[in-house]
Amino acid sequence: MKKDLTRYRNIGIFAHVDAGKTTTTERILKLTGKIHKIGEVHEGAATTDFMEQEQERGITIQSAATSCFWKDHQLNIIDTPGHVDFTIEVYRSLKVLDGGIGVFCGSGGVEPQSETNWRYANDSKVARIIYVNKLDRTGADFFSVIKQVEDVLAAKPLIMVLPIGIESEFCGVVDLITEKAWIWDNSGDPLNYEIKEVPTDMVDQVTFYREQLIEIVVEQDDDIMEKYLEGEELTIDEIKSCIRKGTRDLVFFPSYCGSSFKNKGVQLVLDAVVDYLPNPTELDPQPEVDLEGNETGKFAIVDPEKPLRALAFKIMDDRFGALTFTRLYSGTLSKGDIVLNTATGKSERVSRLVEMHANFREEIETAQAGDIVAIVGMKNVQTGHTLCDPQFPATLEPMVFPDPVISVSVSPKKKGENEKMGMALSKMVQEDPSFYVETDKDSGEVIMKGMGELHLDIKVDILKRTHGVEVEVGKPQVAYRESITKTINDTYIHKKQSGGSGQFGKIDYIIEPGEPGSGFSFESKVTGGNVPREFWPAVQKGFENSINKGVLAGFPCVDLKVTLTDGGYHPVDSSAIAFEIAARAGYRQSIPKAGPQLLEPIMNVDVFTPEDYMGDVIGDLNRRRGMIKSQNSTTMGARIKSDVPLSEMFGYIGDLRTMTSGRGQFSMEFSHYAPCPNNVAEEVIAEVKERQATS
């Protein structure tokens, strides 16, 4: 049976920590009949926060997927985390969504993480509606948040409703399109509301904002605009069609308000999802790429009759086995199908398909383009892999994940649990592409790498709770890099005679600093065949394999260019291996002469603090070698943006809370690498050498 894709909405709910995303999702599930008793986040009982760590901390860590129905439309909803260390969850969810609800706190406004998420959504070209939540809170101000959206996010909010009352007096909203007031009673039941005429003291305000709304939206359709300019009354359907087009094209963002906790205002947000957010057929088709990541010019068309194209966007391990969350872009997927994973080149059989409702599931026989489903029991699939029809292979644009910036060593507290810990870590790596595990070759220690302190904290917690492995955790280590500051012209001859055929390779080369972020590049300018062309790749490989270990403290060496200028070879004794060895030895010989320096990761730190503590916070950031980039005062407090070395940020959350009496918040993400001051570099190098001596 072919489903009507125009009645599908794949949406995500995203925002800053504590803006009320999960509470809003709970209300949506209640209103759509998915749950009967509402679970509260602060009581640790929310449906979509089903990890123990989420219930305890009251934050969302994993994006939870759930499906529900509203007015004959199927909504596939992904509730994403707000905390900065889990932005990877937001990023990969946005890749597979067609629309989103950006939730903002009525008193907190546009907070640091909402800015990052908004940027991700812009990059992914996701249409959004805005929902200003918590209007019942002291200090809540709908219009102030709308102004912040304009100023901070450079977005154009389209005011769709006006609040009736504010703070403790907040009781409902006026819908500007129908010019009707929705008023809820105080029973807490979202269904206990009445639709009335606009309160008399709001009539002028409603007229003003409705005029403004219509003037903005009629620009989307020339015929409707002409009709409006001629003074004719527009129908509600005409106004809605203009809003739908502008929303889909990201011209503006319909903006609503309410209080999810008090069950007021959520119905209008659901209506807006159905009325204004795009369905899967209205999006630009997904470009297909080859194995090198270059676009092929073909597209995955949203059509169940076309060959299968699906993207695995999340792997989750639960009590029933591995779940692979998958978005189908074209074609149909049924139980028992064989699918090809283009990343591994291997085929796998789909044994079971399920539709997710938070942590409950419903078995289904088949899914089609536009669906978000979970496949049970896939073995070799990872986040970002494409699943396709083996007869018609193709790859969808893959996801790109940032490199980790922090690492800790872990070892099991109980003897004999190494294997158990290893299995648990490999499952966790599959689930989270921003989490890496490796074994240190010299010390044999197991090293976990991630995006921040909290990220690794949660991983240690999951090892303990979910997998039953208690671990000892080492001191956090920063992912330093090394680079060079001078250009060196050098020569190296590799010569080995031991009877019979020997080894010979001579290389003349230049090693020079590259542009920041350029990585490693190699070029050969040899003319006249002194180093035959077939040996150039061996020279490149020798240098490339050497840069993983710098000469100062063994950190990877970045941003350098090697140019092979000349050399010499022996017709019998020269071989690829001889030239590779010459390049490796040349690297060790030349880098110490090229002014090596240590680079440290610099983080974008965004702090929100009440005004009274601003001086202390800035002083503390300066002590941490921070560079203040901007400071802005809002009605709620001050936002301070700065660049701070990661090594100075350990334990910052505790210090910030102490400084601001528990009211400060911050978010942090990797920005760039910069040279370390000499005194810091010396300490780091000494520490590394000491660690190597003791291991």
Structure tokens at 600: 């440290």
Which pairs count as long-range contacts for 180-184, CB under 8 Å and 24+ apart, including other chains? 182/265, 182/267, 182/268, 184/262, 184/263, 184/264
**Which neighbouring-strand residues pair with 376?**
323, 352
Task: Specify whether the backbone of 411 is left (phi greater than 0), alpha (psi in -120 to 50) or beta.
Answer: beta
Q: If you write DSSP's letter for every residue of 350-407 in order, what string do you get?
A: --EEEEEETTEEEEESEEETT-EEEEE--SS--TT-EEE-TTS--EEPPP--PPP-EE
Q: Which SS3 state, helix, strand or coil, does residue 239 take?
A: helix
Tell me: the pLDDT tens digits for 71-117?
888 888 875 554 444 556 566 667 778 898 888 888 877 776 677 77
For residue 100, count other CB atoms closer than 10 A to its CB. 30
**Which neighbouring-strand residues pair with 283?**
none
For residues 668 and 522, what is the distance between their CA atoms, to the nearest angstrom?
Answer: 34
pLDDT, averaged per 10 consecutive residues of the chain (695 residues), comes to 77 69 68 48 37 35 61 77 52 76 83 73 87 86 90 89 87 91 83 88 93 93 91 90 93 91 85 91 71 65 82 72 82 88 85 72 84 83 82 75 79 86 85 81 79 80 84 86 94 81 90 89 89 92 92 91 93 90 95 94 87 92 94 78 91 84 78 91 88 72
Query: What's 349's DSSP letter?
Result: E
- Residue pair 406/451 in contact (Cβ under 8 Å)? The answer is yes
pLDDT of amino acid 276:
94
pLDDT of amino acid 602:
92
Tell me: the pLDDT tens digits for 495-540?
987 666 788 999 999 999 998 888 899 999 988 888 999 999 999 9
For residues 108 and 114, what is the distance between their CA atoms, to the nearest angstrom?
Answer: 11
For residues 566 and 568, what is the distance between their CA atoms, to the nearest angstrom?
Answer: 7
- Residue pair 582/590 in contact (Cβ under 8 Å)? The answer is no
Q: How many residues does the chain have?
A: 695
pTM (two decimals):
0.67
**Structurally, what CATH architecture does the domain formed by 486-594 represent?**
2-Layer Sandwich (3.30)
The domain segmentation of the chain, as residue ranges, is: 5-282, 286-396, 406-479, 486-594, 599-682
Intrachain domains 406-479 and 599-682 with the same fold: yes
**Which neighbouring-strand residues pair with 446?**
410, 439
pLDDT of amino acid 399:
64
pLDDT of amino acid 60:
33
What distance, in Å, lies between the first and last C-alpha atoms of the chain?
64
Q: Which SS3 state, helix, strand or coil, does residue 65 take?
A: strand
How does 373-401 read in b/e, with b if 16+ C-beta sit within 10 Å?
A: bbbbebeebbbbbbbbbeeeebbbbbbeb
Q: Which SS3 state, helix, strand or coil, does residue 661 take?
A: coil
Backbone angles phi, psi at 513, to 5 degrees: -65, 140
CATH fold for domain 599-682: Alpha-Beta Plaits (3.30.70)
Residue with tokens 């149909």: 332
For residue 662, count other CB atoms closer than 10 A to its CB. 8
pLDDT of amino acid 208:
94
For residues 622 and 393, what is the distance between their CA atoms, to the nearest angstrom?
Answer: 54
Q: According to CATH, what is the number of the domain 286-396?
A: 2.40.30.10
For residues 110 and 632, what is the distance between their CA atoms, to the nearest angstrom?
Answer: 12
- Residue pair 356/374 in contact (Cβ under 8 Å)? The answer is yes
For residues 262 and 189, what is the distance between their CA atoms, to the nearest angstrom?
Answer: 8
The candidate with the shortest Cα–Cα distance to 162, out of 202, 103, 218, is: 202
For residues 415 and 420, what is the distance between their CA atoms, to the nearest angstrom?
Answer: 11
* Whether CATH 1.10.10.10 fits 5-282: no
Q: Which residues contact 85 (CB under 8 A, 6 or more apart)?
A: 450, 451, 452, 453, 454, 455, 458
The candidate with the shortest Cα–Cα distance to 272, out of 285, 286, 257, is: 257
Q: Which residues contact 360 (CB under 8 A, 6 or more apart)?
A: none
Backbone angles phi, psi at 409, to 5 degrees: -90, 145
Angle at 279 between CA 278 and CA 284, to 5 degrees: 75
Q: Which residues contact 93 (CB under 8 A, 6 or more apart)?
A: 12, 14, 63, 78, 80, 313, 314
* The CATH number, out of the four listed (3.40.50.12780, 3.30.70.870, 3.40.50.150, 3.40.50.1820), of the domain defined by the range 406-479: 3.30.70.870
- Amino acid symbol at 554: G
pLDDT of amino acid 82:
42
- Residue pair 640/607 in contact (Cβ under 8 Å)? The answer is yes
